Amino acid sequence: MDRTRFYACVDARTHRAYVAAETEAARKLGIDRTPTLQIGSQRIQGLPAYEDLRQAVERALG
């Protein structure tokens, strides 16, 4: 990673409005952490175990 470019981007706040809007949209949906996965009607917050993720996908596929 080019630290100089990274910090220049952060300092410029070029994407600040976009990030703020996306954060607010997530909050309105009840999402307050990452990762949050929506698989069918099931919401999984946090990093799921592989087996839990597999089962959720299989349920969603029917």
Within this chain, do residues 24 and 37 fall inside the same structural domain, yes or no?
Answer: no
The domain of 37 spans 33-62
**pLDDT < 50: residue spans in the chain:** none
Instruction: Say what the pLDDT of residue 49 is.
Output: 96
Within this chain, do residues 15 and 37 fall inside the same structural domain, yes or no?
Answer: no
Within this chain, do residues 38 and 57 fall inside the same structural domain, yes or no?
Answer: yes
Instruction: Say what the pLDDT of residue 12 is.
Output: 94
Within this chain, do residues 39 and 62 fall inside the same structural domain, yes or no?
Answer: yes
Instruction: Say what the pLDDT of residue 17 is.
Output: 95
Residue with tokens 């990452």: 34
